[in-house]
Every structure is written in C-alpha cells, then in structure tokens.
C-alpha cells in the first residue's frame, strides 16, 4: 500500500514537473499532451495565460491607438512629470518647440522653452489661460506665434498643449489696425465739421464766408459718406457668396455707366474745360456684344474705381485710355493714364486697405484709400486678377484679367481687337 502511494506520489511529481516544463517552453496555441487531472490543470492554466495575453494585447492596442490619435492632433502635446521633466511628446510638439521625442526625454521643459513669457507663466502658477510666445521659426518679417497652456493633473504632473496661433494673431493685428484706421479716417472730417459748426454757432459771419464754410462742411460730409459707402461695399464683398456664372452683363453697358460717371467726376474736379483730361473709352465694334458673367454692381464699382483713380491722380490735360480686349484665353479691362506713375516698391501694398502713396492728394480728391482693395476683391470674386504696371513720371496701367469662363462673345470672321484699337 505504502509502495503504491509512493509510486503514485512520484508519478504525480513527475507529471507536475513535466507539465511545468511544458508550460515554460510551449507556445500558447500548442496542443496539450496531458490527460487526467494534469491535463485539466494544464488546460485551465493555459486558458488563464491566454486570457491574460489577450488582455495585454488589447491594452497594448488601445495604447497604440491612443498614441496614434495624440500624434495626429494639430496640437502639440507634452507630458511632464512632477519635476517638470519631459516624459513624452508628440510630433506636433517637436515641430512647435523643436523637441526630439527620444533625446529630450527627462529634460527640464524650462531648459527647452527659453522664453521669458513662458518662465513668467510657469512662476505665476495661474494656468487657466494660455500664454503666447514666439515660435522657434519666428522672424520679424515672418512672425511665428505659439499659444502654450499647462494643465496640472495627478500628483504634480502636467500636460502641456501648444497650438500655432500665427494666423489668429495676424488676423487680430489686422483687425486692430483696421479699427484704428477707420476711427482715424472718421475722426478727421468729424473734427473739421464740429469746428465749423461751433464757429457758425458762436460768430456772426457775413453771407459769403458763411457760404464758404458750408461748402467746406459739405466737402467733409461727402468724404464721410464716401468712406462709409466704401466700408459697406467691402463688408458686402466679404460677407456674400461669390457671384455665379448665370447672370450675363453686356460690357458695352458697363462702359456706358462708367463713361457717364467719369465725365461727371472730371467736370467736378476740373470745372474749366481747358484743364480737363482727355478720356478715351475704346471698344472694338466686334466687342459691342461681349458679355461678362458676374455681378453688375460689383463690376461697375471695380471699373469706375480704376477710372476715377486715373482722373483723380493725373494732372490737367493728361490722357486716360479705357480699353476692353480679349483673346480666346482671357479678356482684359484696362485703364491707362499719363499720370505721375507709381514706384515699383508700392505695387504689392497698393490694394491694402488705407494704403496711400500721397495721402493728401488722395484726400483732396475724395479718395478713401479703399478703392483698390475693393477692385482686388471684386476681380478675385470673378476668378480673375489685378495687374499693375507703372513707371514714375510716365503713367500707370491697371488691368483686370477675366478668365475665359467668365466672358462670351459673338464669333466674327475677323476678330483682332488689340491691333485695331
């Protein structure tokens, strides 16, 4: 009996150690080669191991997916330990802050982000807002701004988020400049107007001086009206959908409206006919039925802005040529003058709002500084472009190029307008 128990015990020990050895070496999907109680034990252990392995794989996969999602974030993400040392960072943070995700692990964030604004932010310990710092690619002529915010969590750890705010900051600067410019443009005529009103109220003036003052007041209030009109036009252009290609407008009609307006302006600016500029509106007879697809009010506004600039800037007796030409690729509306011309360094800024070369000449002739900004908006909304050619003391040519899809014409046998004009 004792011998049998001993043999059974030895057998069990042997089976147990075989099973243990098998479990140590075997792959998880191998077939179990044990039977009886050792087979059941092995099977149970194997199932538990498989379960744990599946759970490990699932959590590894979730972690991988989570990291991939954080990598794809447009925000830079940096995980900091309780000593503010970098634990992990994503690719966007590398780009924003110049971090190397492997080499810079354990570096103090303060050593990597050497910005006085950021140091101040860290010391303030008030992290309910972001701090704006200059990005590492920042240059005076090419700003690069980052918004950085810290989020404390756990036992002293922190999450650092960074985002590129260059465009937002630029838009904010433009908005501030625009408001400052508009306020300045409005304040000047208003100051003049209120000065005249005060004088009229307090002094007894003879009729001729009174009349003179009223004319000057009218001039200032017209200036205010033009400014408000141009501001409204700009805001309509920015806030409305692009003109479609269903409404066709006859170029000859546009020319007619512009010509009437131009004659009126020229007469107002030069009451004496011998000082008036020579205005030539040239359309080839074959183009009289040409049409442009777009918005009539916008097109008249763009065309007449270019014409009125020419009338306002060229001296008495100068010449202005307004032309419409087309090929099979594009149609061009152009206004050419023999005026003072523009130095090339101004070209790129001329269509900025309120950019003027000669401020007083612009104001004296009723300019708002918004004309070319309107022209550029209109032509871009019609799929075209504005071209400026000019030579100092020789004259300027402003051309609006329309793409082929935006105009149509009756095919004639011989059409070569450029030559015949």
Binding stretches for ligand ADP (CB under 6 A):
309-310, 313, 337, 339-340, 342, 350, 355-358, 362, 367-373, 396
Distance of CA 16 to the CA centre of its chain: 74
Residue 287 vs 309, nearer CB to ligand ADP? 309
Q: Measured from the CB atom, is 76 or 384 closer to ligand ADP?
A: 384
Nearer to ligand ADP, 252 or 332 (CB): 332
CB of 292 to ligand ADP, least distance (A): 21
Q: Which is nearer to ligand ADP, 161 or 357 (by Cβ)?
A: 357
- CB distance 388 to 347 below 8 Å: yes
For ligand ADP, the closer of residues 38 and 398 by Cβ is: 398
Q: Any idea what DSSP says for residue 245? A: S
Query: For the residues of 204-229, what is the DSSP string, one character each?
Result: ---HHHHHHHHHHHHHHHHHHHHHHH
- Please tell me the distance from the alpha carbon of residue 244 to that of residue 294, in angstroms, as a whole number: 6
Q: Which is nearer to ligand ADP, 86 or 372 (CB)?
A: 372
Nearer to ligand ADP, 248 or 355 (CB): 355
Q: Looking at beta carbons only, is 79 or 388 nearer to ligand ADP?
A: 388
Least Cβ distance, residue 410 to ligand ADP (angstroms): 32
CB contact set of 112 (below 8 Å; sequence gap of 6+): 86, 97, 98, 99, 104
Provide the minimum distance between the beta carbon of 378 and ligand ADP in the complex, in angstroms, as a whole number: 13
- CB contact at 8 A, 104 and 86: yes
Minimum distance from residue 269 beta carbon to ligand ADP (Å): 13
- SS3 category, 283: strand
CB of 282 to ligand ADP, least distance (A): 17
Report helix, strand or coil for 338.
coil
Query: What distances in angstroms separate CA 411 from CA 33, 285, 287, one per listed residue?
Result: 92, 12, 10
Describe the chain by its helix, strand, coil percentages, rounded to 5.
55, 20, 30
- The two tokens of residue 157 are 């750890």
Q: How far is the CB of 420 from ligand ADP (least distance, A)?
A: 25
Output the smallest distance, CB 355 to ligand ADP, in A. 6
Positive/negative CA dihedral, 294, 297, 302, 303? positive
- Residue in this structure with the two tokens 């447009």, named with its chain if needed: 74
Cα–Cα dist 160/302, whole Å: 49
**Strand 291-293 with 248-250, pairing:** antiparallel
CB of 311 to ligand ADP, least distance (A): 9
């Amino acid at each position: 009996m004792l011998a049998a128990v001993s043999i059974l015990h030895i057998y069990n020990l042997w089976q147990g150690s075989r099973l243990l050895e098998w479990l140590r070496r075997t792959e998880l999907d191998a077939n179990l080669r044990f039977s009886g109680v050792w087979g059941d034990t092995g099977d149970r252990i194997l199932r538990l191991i498989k379960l744990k392995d599946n759970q490990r794989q699932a959590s590894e996969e979730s972690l991988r997916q989570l990291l991939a999602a954080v990598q794809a974030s447009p925000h830079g993400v940096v995980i900091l330990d309780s000593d503010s040392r970098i634990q992990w960072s994503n690719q966007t943070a590398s780009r924003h802050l110049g971090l190397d995700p492997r080499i810079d692990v354990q570096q103090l964030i303060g050593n990597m982000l050497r910005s006085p604004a950021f140091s101040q932010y860290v010391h303030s310990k008030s992290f309910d807002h972001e701090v704006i710092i200059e990005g590492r690619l920042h240059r005076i002529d090419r700003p690069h701004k980052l918004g950085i915010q810290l989020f404390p969590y756990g036992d002293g750890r922190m999450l650092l988020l960074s985002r590129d705010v260059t465009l937002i900051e630029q838009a904010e600067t433009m908005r501030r400049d625009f408001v400052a410019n508009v306020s300045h443009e409005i304040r000047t005529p208003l100051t003049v107007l209120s000065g005249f009103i005060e004088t009229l109220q307090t002094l007894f003036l003879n009729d001729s001086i009174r009349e003179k003052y009223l004319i000057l007041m009218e001039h200032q209030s017209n200036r205010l009206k033009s400014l408000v009109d141009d501001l409204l036009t700009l805001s309509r252009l920015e806030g409305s959908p692009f003109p479609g290609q269903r409404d066709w407008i006859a170029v000859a009609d546009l020319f007619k409206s512009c010509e009437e307006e131009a004659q009126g302006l020229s007469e107002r600016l030069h009451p004496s006919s011998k000082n008036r500029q020579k205005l030539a509106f040239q359309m080839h007879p074959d183009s009289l039925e040409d049409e442009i697809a777009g918005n009539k009010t916008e097109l008249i506004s763009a065309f007449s802005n270019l014409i009125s600039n020419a009338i306002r800037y060229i001296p008495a007796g100068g010449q202005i040529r307004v032309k419409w030409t087309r090929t099979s690729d594009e149609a061009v509306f152009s206004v050419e003058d023999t005026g003072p011309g523009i130095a090339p360094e101004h070209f790129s800024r001329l269509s900025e709002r309120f950019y003027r070369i000669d401020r007083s000449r612009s104001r004296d002739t009723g300019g708002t500084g918004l004309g070319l900004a309107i022209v550029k908006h209109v032509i871009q909304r019609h799929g075209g472009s504005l071209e400026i050619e000019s030579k100092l003391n020789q004259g300027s040519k402003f051309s609006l190029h329309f793409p082929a899809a935006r105009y149509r014409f009756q095919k004639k046998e011989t059409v070569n307008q450029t030559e015949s004009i």
